[in-house]
Structure 1
Amino acid sequence: MDISNFIIDNMNNPRELERMFRKEPEIFKRSFLHVWEQNSNSQILSVWYERLNYKETEKTEGASLIDKSFVFMGILAILSGITTRILLYFVEQQGIAPINLIFGILPFMAAYFLYNNSAKKNIVYTIAALFLMSGVYLNLIPFEQKDSMILAYLHLPVFLWVLLGLAFTGNEYSMGSARLNYLKFNGEFCILYASMAISGMLLTALTMQLFGVIGMHIEEFYFENIVLFGVASLAIVASYLVSRNLKFTKTLVPYIAKIFSPLMLTTLIAYLIVAIWVGKNPFLDRDFLILFNEILIIVLAVTIFSITENDAKGKKSISDYINFTLIFLSLMIDSVAFLAMVFRLSFYGITANRLATVGINILIWGNLFWIMLSYIKFLKSKSGYSAIQDAVTKYLPIYGIWAAFVTFTFPLIFK
């Protein structure tokens, strides 16, 4: 079927051309080329020509970029695996703390992001210097099982995570949308990494069984070399796949966010009812107080996860009311926990653990309170959803600053 005459007759009728294109796109494309050769001076047909051929050009240009990015990702993945294995050797010799294994993964993820974003030199140098300083400092302080050292080990990943966010956002580090994309990346990364890790575990189980059948026990070698290499390099591969807009995670993440919030709210309400019923007292029960803080961190993570997956231009939905209720209950828990910690500080004195717990409690309370106020304005139609997302993204550097403070000062203050 040839519709060349139809196209010629309707060269000045864009509506008819569009209608025919949508009705028979393949036939339209084939017939259009013949018409274009005879009427290349037509401005309307020129627009159609670019429209019909743009995808091929875009695909060709994209292929080159993907190849370079893929090769660079592959190199980083291999280097990450090798570095992590070398670090494990020194950990086994008790020469360095196990937390050093993180330097076999995060710096290489940061390197990929910096390359992918074409970051400015000052950003690259800043991130490289901070990673280097963190690694050097961590291994200069005594490797001891003290509370201050354990706190430093726990807070270092948070600081490096914020540093990784700086690499991810690149030249747009001050923009809320870029920070929001980083939070979205984390959710998508975790889902994809977990999916690939499960596949890796199945492969490991099969490998162990196959070699076991022929009488070879390779468990120790396999886990210390192959599995460890895979765990590290897989993080780089997952970063690459998510950054290439993998549809699997982008389709799945919003649904997970909508499911987790109501489940978390139900669990929290049930837990509070039972805790009150059995007479648990956070002022006297240290383990119960620690659990309170763990709940706060989980609620904050779930809330942020849900907020980042919502459309900034979206309308109010049941999920927003669930999130608001979840945040309100969390603030109540946080307030009780804060009073209990102040009580313990005044009664038992200041220690590294208590000071760090009070600090993170105040940070989380401040963040949740800001988010709650933004939610109130949104639910009253006094502001858009972007204000809620701003309450999340603008607070991220504060967590990084606090984590850096604990990591770099507590081992010196609480010797």
Structure 2
Amino acid sequence: MTDDDGQQELEAQFEQWRQYVLRRRELQPTDADELEDHLRGSVDELVARGLSPDEAFLVAVKRMGSLDELSREFAREHSERLWKQLVLTGDPSSPVAGTRSRRDLWAMLACAAGAVASVKVPALFGLGFDDDGSFYARNFALFALPWLAAFLAWRRGARRSVIVTLVALFVLGAVAANVYPLADDSQSIVVTSIHLPIALWLVVGLAYVADDWRSSRRRMDFIRFTGEWFIYLVLMGLGGGVLSAFLFNTFAAIGIAPEEFISQWLLPCGAAAAVVVAGWLVEAKQSVVENIAPVLTRLFTPLFTAALLAFLVAVVLTSHGIDVERETLILFDLLLVVVLGLLLYSLSARDPLAPPGPFDKLQLALVVSALAIDVLVLVEITGRITDDYGSTPNRAAALGENVILLVNLAWSAWLLLTFIRRRAPFAALERWQTGYLPVYAGWAWFVVLVFPPLFAYA
């Protein structure tokens, strides 16, 4: 390798390191400049002592210590930043940032208003919440997610081809949700209500990555966005519950019953608007919650690992099979999705340059436990289908989802094991997870579009 090649590779490593540093939202670009200057000085010193550029870079990064600790040091020195990020939507000292923040705010308000209007438009055609609950169950994601996608596409400056694709996919979702003649007690309504939001959320992901949809890094950013969006949405949901209880009790104290206002306006309109507002908060507040989410993953990973292991031990000791009725299937699928979510978000928040540690081993135990439960569920579902019970939309959907999760978890476990044994880089696990996102999208769309006619709209 020539000196020029070595220098280019070193610069690529600096750029990769800088991009990772800038993911820590508590660190400003000026902080990254300061850290990079320090890192470059250390690398130059080590190269002068005879180390190769690659060796010098790795040693210098290790000497700098944990990025978490560096972030805490900067947070202590600049504690006012957190409050500015919570209250403001940009750097008030920057006219350009302030203008962009105001534009984002107005765009968010317009999209949130669009989501609220979308929820109430069906009422103009006689489709109230009490009159046709199945209609709202199938379509609720279509009321809010297109507006969130519109906000993200506008903010990213997406090209016309991306916008056309987004519109086409949302129209396809609307057709699939409403064109099939499904009875109110049809299993296909439940299947569609579960899978359509998944399919449409990945369409939102396309709006998020915009013109850079092939990039593994941008897909991982979308995974991080999803985790932060979910946390903001839950927080707003809790606040909305408190507000609803307050309104109900205060107005009831003076003889006014606000049930209709709360159930017909406050809750549905607030939920639709919150979907858009949560996305804006992730973007505008510079991921203030980013430091909370990794803490949650480290808290719940051991708890879920212990719960799954306890369940497996109980299965062995009691020799009881798993009930594969609809509610049970949904419960186990949600459990596996939660496990996958914990894995994904912890991957997105992890320092890719850090060596394997105890938490990585704990994650491996969690994935292996989930993998064992997935196998048990698959055995039970396959047995029910091959017996006299036959196949139903619920069982077929659960079978496909568990096969997809089985493949993901199995290869994730292998990659985690090889990483822990220092035989593969951490990046391989990231690439596997981000590359698997289209599989989820393809299956969700297949269930929504093909299952109803395949099972005669049962």
Q: TM-score, normalised by structure 1?
A: 0.81
State how far apart, in whole Å, the 2-side matches of 1:148 and 1:228 are.
23
Residue 355 (structure 2) aligns with: 315
Q: Which stretch of structure 1 is more off in the superposition, 222-231 or 70-79? A: 222-231
How does 1:4-153 map onto structure 2 within 5 Å? 59-87=94-122, 90-92=127-129, 93-94=131-132, 96-144=135-183, 145-153=185-193
Partner of 1:413: 454
Give CA-to-partner distance per residue, 1:377-407, whole Å, 9 cap, x none: 2112222222111111110110110111111
Give me the whole-angstrom Cα distance separating, in 1, the residues matched to 2:391 and 2:235: 43
Distance in 1 (CA, whole Å) between partners of 2:423 and 2:109 is 48
Deviation of 1:309 after TM superposition, in Å, equals 2.1
Aligned-partner residue type, residue 204 of structure 1? S
CA–CA separation in structure 2 for the residues paired with 1:165 and 1:66: 22
CA offset at residue 57 of structure 1?
A: 10
In 1, are the aligned partners of 2:138 and 2:192 still within 8 Å (CA)?
A: no
Task: Give 5+ residue unaligned stretches, structure 2.
Answer: 1-36, 38-89
C-alpha distance 228-148 of structure 1, shift in aligned 2 (>3 A): closer
Alignment of 1:262-341 (within 5 A): 262-282=302-322, 285-287=323-325, 290=329, 292-341=332-381
- Matching of residue 380 in structure 1 with residue 421 in structure 2: yes
Instruction: Using the TM superposition, give the Cα deviation of residue 226 of structure 1 relative to its aligned residue in structure 2, in angstroms.
Output: 2.4
Tell me the equivalent position of 1:192: 232
Change (3 A) 1:155 1:56: closer
Work out which of the residue numbers 147, 156, 160 in structure 1 matches 2:196. Answer: 156
Task: State the AA in 2 paired with 1:383.
Answer: A
Equivalent residue, structure 1, for 2:212: 172
For residues 145-201 of structure 1, give each alpha carbon's deviation from its aligned partner in whole angstroms, at most 9, with x where no partner exists.
222343223211111111111111111111111111111111111111222222222
> Is 1:342 matched with 2:342?
no
Q: Distance in 1 between matches of 2:182 and 2:383?
A: 32
Largest Rg, 1 or 2: 1
The answer (yes or no) to whether the contact 1:313–1:386 under 8 Å persists in 2 is no
Structure 2 distance, partners of 1:256, 1:82, is 35
Q: Is the 8 A contact 2:166 2:207 kept in 1?
A: yes
Query: C-alpha distance in 2, partners of 1:143/1:78?
Result: 31
State whether residues 138 and 189 of structure 2, in contact with CA within 8 Å, keep that contact through their aligned partners in structure 1: no
Aligned match for 1:205, one of 234, 237, 245: 245
Deviates more, 1:397-406 or 1:366-375: 366-375
CA distance in 1, matches of 2:260, 2:91: 50
> For residue 406 of structure 2, what is the aligned residue in structure 1?
365
Question: How far off is 1:411 after superposition?
Answer: 0.8
Q: Is the 8 A contact 1:155 1:403 kept in 2?
A: yes
Alignment partner, residue 238 of structure 1: 278
CA deviation vs aligned residue, 1:43-62 (integer Å, no higher than 9, x gap): xxxxxxxxxxxx98971111
- Report if aligned partners of 1:257, 1:309 keep a CA contact under 8 Å in 2: no
Q: Structure 1 pair 377/58, CA: closer, same or farther in 2 (3 Å)? A: farther
**Alpha-carbon contact 1:114-1:167 (below 8 Å) kept:** yes
Paired residues of 2:91 and 2:97 also in contact (CA < 8 A): no
Are the equivalent residues in 2 in contact too, given 1:76–1:236 (CA < 8 A)? yes
Asked if structure 2 preserves the Cα contact closer than 8 Å seen for 1:114 and 1:170, the reply is: yes
CA contact (8 A) 1:149 1:410 kept: no
Letter in 1 for 2:414: L
- Distance in 1, matches of 2:425 and 2:285, equals 26
Query: How many aligned residue pairs are there?
Result: 360
List runs of 5+ in structure 1 lacking aligned partners: 1-17, 19-54
Residue 105 of structure 1 aligns with an amino acid whose one-letter code is: A
Output the CA distance in 1 between the equivalents of 2:147 and 2:410.
Answer: 35
3-state DSSP of counterpart to 2:151:
helix
What's the CA shift string for 1:320-379, capped at 9, x where partnerless?
A: 101111111222222232233222222233333332222111100111112112112211
More displaced 10-residue stretch of structure 1: 60-69 or 372-381: 372-381
Tell me which amino acid in the other structure corresponds to 2:305.
L
- Does the CA contact (< 8 Å) of 1:123 and 1:170 recur in 2? yes
Q: Which residue of 1 aligns with 2:430?
A: 389
Cα drift, residue 276 of structure 1? 2.5
Query: Which residue pairs with 1:38 in the alignment?
Result: none
Deviates more, 1:254-263 or 1:149-158: 149-158
The 10-residue stretch of structure 1 (378-387 or 333-342) with the greater mean CA deviation from structure 2 = 333-342
The answer (yes or no) to whether the contact 2:148–2:279 under 8 Å persists in 1 is yes
RMSD: 2.3
Contact 2:339 2:370 in 1 (8 A): yes
Q: Which residue of 2 aligns with 1:5?
A: none
Identity among equivalent positions (%) equals 25
Q: With structure 2 as the length reference, what TM-score do the two structures score?
A: 0.74
Equivalents in 2 of 1:374, 1:58: separation in Å? 46
Q: Give the SS at the match of 1:104.
A: helix
* Structure 2 CA distance for partners of 1:139 and 1:98, relative to 1, 3 Å: same
Distance 1:333 1:236, change over 3 A: same
